């Protein structure tokens, strides 16, 4: 009896909430570049974009103009890459993060009628999440904004609205997707409050003005062109949805587990909404829809990319949505079924996360609650520690001497070569070629090269996910082959790399349309004498539904050479709309140099075919032919 009375004391609840919240902070406080010099080159893909974001921030590049990416100038809060970032920025964010977690944990304990069970659930939340949230932090920030929205629904205090706006602004400049989701649902939240007479127009106006001021100040302080930032990131998201998934069944077990959790949660939400309707608490329904939106987007990302990391991201961050707080209020007199469901759901998620290598439940507890002293070694924090991989990104001395202080770019993605070697890195805005997968993004990169092309390029001809590399950044590739000369080469990490030098007077491309014709899906399309063709066709209703709920149906491009041999590459409707090269088969860096110097040394294409499931696509394809000089 004494223990029960003691446990119900608010002081103890606050202590429990604080301790658990403290241990949700990302560990380690900062990540050092994980650079390898063996294995496939895509192993350098992630570390390169992470370092490039920090490099852009240190050089005061303008987001939306000089650099275009879904991660914004606060992306380092997710990657935890410390290059060029003050340690105090990480500490300030972590204090804010723990404070938000503390508030959610405190309210969850206070709202629970069974404090012991609620404590066990919170403990499970802490270990189901990754010890280093890294880029998953955007989901947590989104949840913070939802939590404060729900608090402002219960009591329309300016402070709650302010905290929702702060989290939305952080999400907006950390990862645009998160910010847009927050803005959209904040608007819905304000409409819900107004419709059910829980606030007035004046307060809504103050909230919207506050958010606008925060976003505006953030754009000024962080060097963001809002129009370009929004447009560019939305284009990346659009292109991502149509091509950036792995077409394989390796993770079918994880995909099925995601589906199981999704439908269990969906059933729970439906039952809860019905209960709200019976109680005539219609104004509460919106916040159950917020939970569904969070779950749907998290699941859509996992199914869309169809890879190991994103499936386990779903398992790690779906249970914590219960911290929003809305599910414990309706059934306060009988919370046992709700708490039992939350616990079982969380434990099921924890079991699924434990299937990940080095992620058993014991290991998860150890990493979360056994912080070693390295977390506190801030006195050794220095930029020097983030640039120690020059030997793993080897560039010969004679190449470094040739480039000197001249501007240089690198293809297709490994900017670590330039950053580690202290070169004057001046990339195209979409700095990783495989991400330039829409016409708008290709045009942005082309215009940058047309106006201020780098003096040198280190070129490695490669792509990801079985794509034809020349079609990544197509217009820039045509521009390079017209305006650059092959001057040197070197081999590093097992790959031959060409060094290209810009000619004295760069010339724009001359793109001349030769005509257009209609063809069918799965039909050979003659190349004629074109160097580039563009194709336009659409999804039927079944295809649109699959694309929305799951991912866009697979498209392949079969390209047949004059000698009768064919090769097949992954492609998307956005890439086909932007244009594909159909002139010669370039099959490596050496072939790229041949195409640049004498394209007649390479096999010509005679036809292409869009290989697709006709159950999902409309049959007609509009094909436009172009000559490029």
Classified as helix, coil or strand, 82 is: coil
Find residue 500's DSSP bridge partners: 457, 486
Q: Distance between CA 622 and CA 607 in Å, rounded?
A: 15
Report the pLDDT averaged over residues 330-359.
86
Parallel/antiparallel/unpaired status of strands 407-411 and 456-459: parallel
Q: Is the pLDDT of residue 509 over 70?
A: yes
pLDDT level of residue 3 (50, 70, 90 thresholds): very low
Q: What is the pLDDT at residue 1?
A: 47
Q: Distance between CA 570 and CA 565 in Å, rounded?
A: 17
Q: Is the pLDDT of residue 177 over 80?
A: yes
pLDDT one-digit tens code per residue, 229-286: 999 988 988 888 888 777 666 677 888 889 999 999 999 999 999 989 998 999 999 9
Q: What is the pLDDT at residue 13?
A: 86
- Concatenating the DSSP letter of every residue in 356-380 gives STT--HHHHHHHHH---GGGG-GGG
Distances (CA, A) of 218 to 62, 146, 429, 489: 12, 21, 20, 43
* Residue 627: both structure tokens together: 């000559």
Question: What are the E-state strand segments in 224-313?
Answer: none
Q: Which long-range contacts (CB under 8 A, 24 or more apart) does 92-95 make?
A: 94/25, 94/26, 94/29
Q: What is the pLDDT at residue 356?
A: 81
pLDDT above 90 coverage of the chain, percent: 71
pLDDT one-digit tens code per residue, 533-589: 999 999 999 999 988 888 889 999 999 999 999 999 999 999 999 999 999 999 999
Q: Is the pLDDT of residue 624 over 50?
A: yes
Residue 399 or residue 310, greater confidence: 399
Q: What is the pLDDT at residue 131?
A: 84
Q: What is the pLDDT at residue 385?
A: 67
b/e per residue, 324-339, with b = 16+ CB within 10 A? Answer: bbbbbebbeeebeebb
Residue 162 or residue 243, greater confidence: 162
Does the domain formed by 511-628 have CATH 2.60.120? Answer: yes
Q: Distance between CA 233 and CA 182 in Å, rounded?
A: 16
The model carries a pTM of 0.93
Q: Is the pLDDT of residue 405 over 70?
A: yes
Nearest to 408 by CA among 492, 500, 504: 500
Half-sphere exposure at residue 356, Cβ-oriented, CA atoms within 13 angstroms? 22
**What is the pLDDT of the chain when averaged over all its residues?**
90
Can you give the residue ranges of every domain in the chain? Answer: 2-25+58-369, 390-502, 511-628
Residue 354 or residue 478, greater confidence: 478
Q: What is the pLDDT at residue 237?
A: 86
Nearest to 76 by CA among 214, 128, 432, 88: 88
pLDDT one-digit tens code per residue, 18-50: 999 999 988 778 877 788 888 778 888 888 999
Report the pLDDT averaged over residues 291-315.
87
């Amino acid at each position: 009896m004494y223990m029960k009375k003691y446990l119900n004391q608010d002081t103890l609840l606050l202590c429990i909430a604080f301790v658990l919240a403290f241990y949700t902070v990302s560990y380690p406080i900062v990540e050092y570049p994980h650079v390898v010099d063996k294995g496939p080159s895509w192993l350098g893909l992630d570390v390169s974009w992470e370092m490039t974001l920090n490099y852009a921030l240190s050089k005061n590049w303008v987001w939306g103009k000089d650099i275009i990416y879904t991660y914004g100038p606060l992306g380092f809060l997710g990657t935890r890459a410390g290059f060029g970032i003050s340690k105090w920025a990480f500490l300030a964010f972590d204090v804010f993060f723990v404070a938000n977690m503390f508030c959610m944990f405190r309210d969850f304990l206070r709202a629970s009628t069974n404090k012991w069970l609620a404590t066990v659930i919170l403990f499970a939340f802490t270990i189901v999440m990754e010890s280093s949230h890294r880029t998953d932090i955007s989901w947590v920030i989104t949840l913070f904004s939802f939590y404060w929205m729900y608090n402002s629904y219960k009591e329309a205090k300016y402070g709650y609205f302010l905290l929702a706006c702060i989290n939305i602004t952080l999400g907006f400049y950390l990862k645009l997707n998160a910010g847009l989701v927050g803005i959209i649902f904040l608007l819905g939240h304000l409409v819900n409050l107004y419709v059910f007479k829980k606030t007035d127009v004046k307060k809504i106006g103050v909230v919207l003005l506050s958010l606008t001021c925060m976003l505006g100040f953030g754009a000024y302080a962080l060097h963001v062109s809002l129009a370009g930032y929004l447009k560019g990131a939305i284009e990346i998201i659009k292109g991502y949805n149509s091509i950036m998934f792995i077409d394989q069944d390796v993770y079918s077990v994880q995909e099925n587990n995601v589906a199981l959790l999704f439908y269990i949660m969906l059933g729970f939400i439906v039952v809860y909404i019905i209960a709200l309707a019976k109680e005539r608490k219609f104004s509460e329904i919106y916040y159950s829809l917020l939970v569904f939106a969070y779950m749907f987007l998290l699941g859509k990302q996992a199914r869309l990319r169809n890879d190991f990391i994103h499936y386990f991201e779903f398992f790690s961050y779906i249970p914590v949505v219960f911290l929003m707080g809305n599910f414990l209020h309706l059934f306060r007199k009988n919370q046992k079924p709700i708490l039992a469901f939350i616990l079982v759901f969380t434990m099921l998620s924890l079991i699924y996360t434990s299937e990940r290598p080095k992620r058993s439940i014991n290991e998860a507890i150890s990493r979360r609650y056994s912080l070693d002293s390295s977390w506190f070694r801030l006195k050794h924090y220095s930029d020097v520690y983030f640039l120690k991989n020059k030997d793993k990104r080897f560039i010969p001395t004679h190449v470094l001497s040739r480039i000197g202080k001249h501007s240089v770019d690198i293809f297709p993605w490994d900017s670590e070569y330039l950053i580690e070697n202290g070169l004057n890195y001046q990339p195209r805005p979409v700095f990783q070629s495989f991400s330039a997968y829409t016409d708008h993004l290709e045009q942005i990169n082309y215009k940058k090269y047309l106006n201020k092309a780098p003096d040198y390029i280190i070129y490695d001809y490669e792509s990801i996910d079985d794509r034809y590399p020349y079609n990544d950044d197509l217009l820039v590739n045509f521009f390079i082959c017209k305006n650059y000369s092959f001057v040197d080469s070197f081999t590093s990490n097992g790959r031959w790399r060409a060094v290209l030098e810009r000619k004295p007077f760069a010339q724009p491309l001359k793109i001349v349309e030769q005509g257009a014709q209609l063809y069918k899906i799965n039909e050979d399309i003659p190349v004629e004498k074109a160097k580039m063709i563009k194709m336009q066709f659409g999804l039927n209703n079944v295809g649109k539904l699959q694309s929305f709920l799951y991912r866009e149906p697979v498209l392949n491009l079969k390209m047949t050479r004059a000698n009768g041999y064919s090769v097949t590459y992954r492609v998307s409707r956005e890439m086909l709309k932007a244009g594909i090269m159909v002139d010669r088969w370039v099959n490596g860096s050496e072939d790229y140099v041949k195409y640049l110097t004498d394209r007649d040394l390479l096999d010509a294409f005679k036809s292409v075919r869009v290989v697709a499931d006709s159950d999902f696509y409309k049959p007609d394809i509009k094909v436009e032919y172009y000559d490029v000089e």
